[in-house]
Chain A
Amino acid sequence: MARESTRTVQGDSAVTDAAAVGVVGLSKAYALHSTALPVLQDIRFDAAPGAFVSVVGPSGSGKSTLLGIIAGLEEPDSGSVTVGGTARRLGAVAYMPQADTLLPWRTALDNAILGLEVRGTPRREARAQARELFAVAGLSGFEAAYPSALSGGMRQRVAFLRTVLTGGSVLLLDEPFGALDALTRSEMHEWLLGLWERLSVTVVLVTHDVEEALLLSDRVLVLSPRPGRVVLSYEVRLPRPRHRAMTVSEAFVRDKALLLDAIHGVVS
């Protein structure tokens, strides 16, 4: 799977020692009724290779816009964005959009291998890789199902598998578990953490869920309401490995209160 690319990542980072994701002074506005609608303002953050960074913030604060820009799908109006030290980002990251965007004419399995296919892996080989992960994601038996026959949560997991299989050193996940029930979600959390530790990929995760952000991340960025600015960049000091039981610990509850205050605009 992405094991091969991991090696190159570690090789790269040893040579360049650049941040896996570097965002400096990023601003972005959209045109709305011939006026400029500022969406992101002066965003700055770094993710070291292998770091897990989450972005939380109210709806409309520009989280998805930020991920799209990091993925290279759009350019910022000002500021710079680098992935692995270069500004050429298309094809360098594995991006999971907020909508699952499965192709209706492909089976679940063939949707999962789309990224591999685009990057030139032969279908047979790609399918074999994907098949193994279907079991882990609780999707076995649905390999040949078309997306229209899957539940929302299953579709989201297929999209997640597609992202993981796409490979690359950086995963950009836009609310990847929003459609899942609490139980499945915490299973996916554990799996993602396992994967992240094993492959030492860099993750940027957008979420509404403060608990999710705390449980998974090294650092949580809190964005203000639009235009999004980083109001808090919080380093999570919970020990690793993390597990669900931590969410009731005193330190966790304190962190959570702090983040919620920041989201609600209480200056701390």
Chain B
Amino acid sequence: MFRPPTMTRFHTVTWLLAALPVLGILALWEVIVRALAIDPVVLPAPTRVLAATRDSAGLLAMHTRQTLLEAAIGLALALLAGCSLGALVTLSPFLRRSVYPLLVVSQTIPMIALAPLLVIWFGFGIVPKLLVVALVCFFPLSVAVADGLGSAEPETVRLLRSMGATGWQIFSKVRMPQSLPYLFSGLKISVTYAVIGAVFGEWVGAYEGLGILMQTAKNSYRTDVVFAAILVTSILSVGLFGIVAMLERLMLPWHVRGAGRQRKQ
């Protein structure tokens, strides 16, 4: 696709602008910890966190793999559930009235209460984590899909009807493609929820994963390792978000974000 030449320069500038405050805060943090000689158990300096990250790289990698696996599978389940529910709710007015309120109510259950119960019911394995991830992710996805499928312009639907299109053709040629930008917006929200959901699910009880690593590190006063695990969690979320954003750009080249000009003749 055609890309304006200013684009890459623009990106460099935005990256710098985003990085500067972070670097500033890290520097300040380092200076304060050293100047006041704060106990590393209370607050380790950034350099110490980096060292811990390097020293426990193998350990972190193992737990990260588990968390990533849970986030990915949980998100896939949520995607499946979200797309089906979103589609059902759009296609059937009856389901819209009966299922939609249920979806909303499902979001009022505090995860902090539910997660320990899930561990009691399903044990320390992967299942309760997948459930936590799927439960926090499917809602934004089903809302996005429902809104997206419902956003087709009546004029366009009329045009296809005039061509003698079947309901399925209208769905597949208009409603589905129309809903993709909405789906990606939902995915961008869900993908960060997924990582946090997996970590939270592990925190409550697990054999493996960044959440349980944080738990055990905290209990053995390795605050630097806790911070290292937090760092990895953030990187994971940002990375997954970046992948979704990239997929969006690859799959929806026609969808120019921000420049939503829809000219009518």
List A residues at the B interface (Cβ < 8 Å). 68, 71-73, 90-95, 97-101, 103-106, 114-115, 117-119, 146-148, 152, 155-156, 166, 178-179
Nearest CB of chain A from residue B264's CB, rounded to whole Å: 5
Does B156 contact A101, Cβ atoms closer than 8 Å?
yes
Does A103 contact B169, Cβ atoms closer than 8 Å?
no
Contacts of B65 on A, CB cut-off 8 Å?
none
Nearest CB of chain A from residue B3's CB, rounded to whole Å: 13
Closest to A153 in B: B265
Q: Mark B12-41, 1 if CB is under 8 A from A, else 0.
A: 000000000000000000000000000000
Does B164 contact A119, Cβ atoms closer than 8 Å?
yes
Does A115 contact B155, Cβ atoms closer than 8 Å?
no
Closest to A96 in B: B159
Does A100 contact B265, Cβ atoms closer than 8 Å?
yes
Contacts of B164 on A, CB cut-off 8 Å?
90-92, 118-119
> Which stretch from B71-79, B99-107, B184-192, B254-262 is at the chain A interface?
B254-262
SS of A interface (majority): loop
Measured between alpha carbons, how far is A99 from B263 in the docked complex, in Å?
10
Closest to B253 in A: A146
Nearest CB of chain A from residue B139's CB, rounded to whole Å: 26
Contacts of B252 on A, CB cut-off 8 Å?
105
Nearest CB of chain A from residue B36's CB, rounded to whole Å: 56
Q: Answer whether residue B54 sits at the interface, using C-beta atoms and an 8 A cutoff.
A: no
Does B177 contact A103, Cβ atoms closer than 8 Å?
yes
Closest to B162 in A: A95
Closest to B174 in A: A103
Contacts of A106 on B, CB cut-off 8 Å?
254
Q: Answer whether residue B204 sits at the interface, using C-beta atoms and an 8 A cutoff.
A: no
Q: Answer whether residue B249 sits at the interface, using C-beta atoms and an 8 A cutoff.
A: no
Does B254 contact A104, Cβ atoms closer than 8 Å?
yes
Measured between alpha carbons, how far is A146 from B259 in the docked complex, in Å?
13
Contacts of A92 on B, CB cut-off 8 Å?
164
27 contacts between A and B (CB under 8 A): A72-B161, A72-B162, A73-B162, A90-B161, A90-B162, A90-B164, A91-B162, A91-B164, A93-B162, A95-B162, A95-B163, A97-B155, A97-B158, A99-B265, A101-B153, A101-B159, A103-B173, A103-B174, A105-B178, A105-B255, A119-B163, A119-B164, A148-B263, A152-B263, A152-B265, A156-B265, A179-B265
Does B254 contact A95, Cβ atoms closer than 8 Å?
no
Does B173 contact A68, Cβ atoms closer than 8 Å?
no
Contacts of A94 on B, CB cut-off 8 Å?
163
Of the candidates B159, B173, B177, B253, which one forms a contact with A95 in the assembled complex, judged by CB atoms under 8 Å apart?
B159
Contacts of B264 on A, CB cut-off 8 Å?
99-100
Nearest CB of chain B from residue A72's CB, rounded to whole Å: 7
Q: Answer whether residue B165 sits at the interface, using C-beta atoms and an 8 A cutoff.
A: yes
Contacts of A93 on B, CB cut-off 8 Å?
162
Of the candidates B163, B169, B261, which one forms a contact with A148 in the assembled complex, judged by CB atoms under 8 Å apart?
B261
Of the candidates B158, B177, B261, which one forms a contact with A68 in the assembled complex, judged by CB atoms under 8 Å apart?
B158
Measured between alpha carbons, how far is A71 from B173 in the docked complex, in Å?
20
Q: Answer whether residue B160 sits at the interface, using C-beta atoms and an 8 A cutoff.
A: yes
Contacts of B165 on A, CB cut-off 8 Å?
91, 118
Measured between alpha carbons, how far is A93 from B165 in the docked complex, in Å?
12
Q: A104-B262, A155-B265, A178-B265 are in contact. Are A118 and B155 (CB under 8 A)?
A: no
Contacts of A117 on B, CB cut-off 8 Å?
173
Q: A103-B174, A148-B261, A179-B265 are in contact. Are A73 and B158 (CB under 8 A)?
A: yes
Contacts of B255 on A, CB cut-off 8 Å?
104-105
Measured between alpha carbons, how far is A71 from B161 in the docked complex, in Å?
9
Measured between alpha carbons, how far is A92 from B261 in the docked complex, in Å?
33
Which positions 231-265 of chain B face chain A at CB distance < 8 Å? 252-256, 259, 261-265
Query: Apart from A99-B155, A152-B263, what are 16 other A-B pairs with CB-CB below 8 Å?
Result: A72-B162, A91-B162, A91-B165, A93-B162, A94-B163, A97-B159, A98-B265, A99-B264, A100-B265, A103-B173, A103-B177, A106-B254, A114-B163, A119-B163, A146-B253, A152-B265
